[in-house]
Each structure stands twice: as C-alpha cells, then as structure tokens.
Amino acid sequence: MPIIETIQPEDATGELKDIYNDLIKSRGKIAEVHKIQSLNPKSIVNHMDLYMTLMYDKSPIKRVLREMIAVVVSRANECAYCQVHHIEAVNHYWKDDQKASSFKNDYMSIELSDIEKAYCDFAWQHTKTPGKDTTEIIEHLKSLGQSDRAILDATMIIAYFNFVNRIVAGLQLELESDGGGGYNFE
C-alpha cells in the first residue's frame, strides 16, 4: 500500500475520471503508478505522453529492446514493480517464460545479440554509476552501427525508468493485486 493518499477509479471525478477512462481505453487498465499520481492529474497525462513517446513512437530501437532496457534499469534499481510490468512486455515478444525469467534475474545469463548486450550494459552502467563517463560505451554502440538518434532514445529511456523507479520506491507502490498483467503492448 502506498504511503500517500490515492484516488481510486470508482472515487474519481472530473478531470481525473476522464484521465482514468482514457487509460482504460488505451492501456487496458489503470496501473498503480498512475493512481499514485491521482492527486495531481495533469502529471498522469504528462507522464503518459512521455512514456508513450519513448516506448511506442517511431525509434531506431525496436520495441522489445526498449522494454529490455526498462527491465535492466529496474533490476539495477531493485524496482520489483517495474521489473514485473516490463518483463511481461519483453515476454510478449519473446514468448519464452524461461528466457524472460533468466533475463530479468541477470541479463548477462542469456544469449543476446551484440547490440542488445551493449544497450543492456549501457542501461546498467548509466543507472548504477550515473556520473561515470559514458564515452566508451557510446563509442561501442556506434561501432555496432547504432545512430546518435538510437543512443539518444536509449539514454532517455534509461533516464525515464530511473525517474519512475524512484516514484515507485519512494512512495512504496506494490504490484497490482492481479499481478500486473493485462496491458496492451502494441
């Protein structure tokens, strides 16, 4: 249970009720990470705009790799809530429960392409040591043919999940009672 007040969908009125209804329509349901922002409804909209831009808009980084980055950042931050949500998204593409579980526990334990591994390494390093010089890992990504736009997108995804992990941890969100599943991933 979060340590601040949240407004549940059945108690929402006005702008918040409209936002909740839009979330149900577009995402399939309302996550706890949305409800925790219910005292500031506009933040939910702005948050979702950024999330949808980074995770669903056109990018040189494939959708599944964006979700993999989310899992690695969330693992580095020990954010179980986000790990569960985003490994489900990864597995939506992989359709391999064992591989997904192994990846969530230790991304280095499974076979990844050079590009996937490099982005996962970047996500881990930039989360665990945010002040560390990233020149070497970015040059490695470039040597693998990754564009500056792809590197920018990855960096923003890493930063976004560090932001969200801190909301979740700081306000002690717990996974939804249904285990967090049932979202639209396309």
Compute the average pLDDT of residues 26-41: 93
Compute the average pLDDT of residues 70-80: 98
Q: Are residues 71 and 46 in the same domain?
A: no
For the chain, the residue count is 186
Specify the pLDDT at position 182: 59
Q: Are residues 109 and 127 in the same domain?
A: yes
Q: Are residues 160 and 74 in the same domain?
A: yes
What are the Cα distances from residue 18, in Å, to 24, 35, 38, 62, 119?
A: 10, 13, 12, 31, 37
Query: Is residue 84 assigned to a domain?
Result: yes
- On the question of pLDDT at 2 being above 70, the answer is yes
- On the question of pLDDT at 158 being above 90, the answer is yes
Q: Are residues 49 and 122 in the same domain?
A: no
The residue with greater pLDDT, 136 or 177, is 136
Q: Are residues 49 and 95 in the same domain?
A: no
* Cβ(103)–Cβ(90) below 8 Å: yes
Residues above pLDDT 70, as percent of the chain: 95
- On the question of pLDDT at 53 being above 90, the answer is yes
pTM exceeds 0.85: yes
What are the Cα distances from residue 96, in Å, to 26, 78, 165?
A: 26, 23, 25
Domain of residue 122, residue span: 63-170
Residue of 56, 68, 66 whose CA lies nearest to 100:
68
- On the question of pLDDT at 1 being above 90, the answer is no
pLDDT band of residue 183 (cuts 50, 70, 90) is: low
What are the Cα distances from residue 143, in Å, to 70, 72, 97, 131?
A: 23, 22, 32, 23
Compute the average pLDDT of residues 64-86: 97
The domain tally of the chain equals 2
Kindly report, residue by residue over 82-130, the tens digit of the pLDDT: 999 999 999 999 999 999 999 999 999 999 999 999 999 999 999 999 9
The neighbour count for residue 8, using CB atoms within 10 Å, is: 10
- On the question of pLDDT at 10 being above 70, the answer is yes
Specify the pLDDT at position 186: 60
Q: Are residues 16 and 34 in the same domain?
A: yes
Specify the pLDDT at position 42: 97
pLDDT band of residue 133 (cuts 50, 70, 90) is: very high
What are the Cα distances from residue 23, in Å, to 5, 136, 150, 185?
A: 20, 40, 28, 13
Query: Is residue 182 assigned to a domain?
Result: no
pLDDT, averaged across the chain: 94
* Cβ(173)–Cβ(79) below 8 Å: no
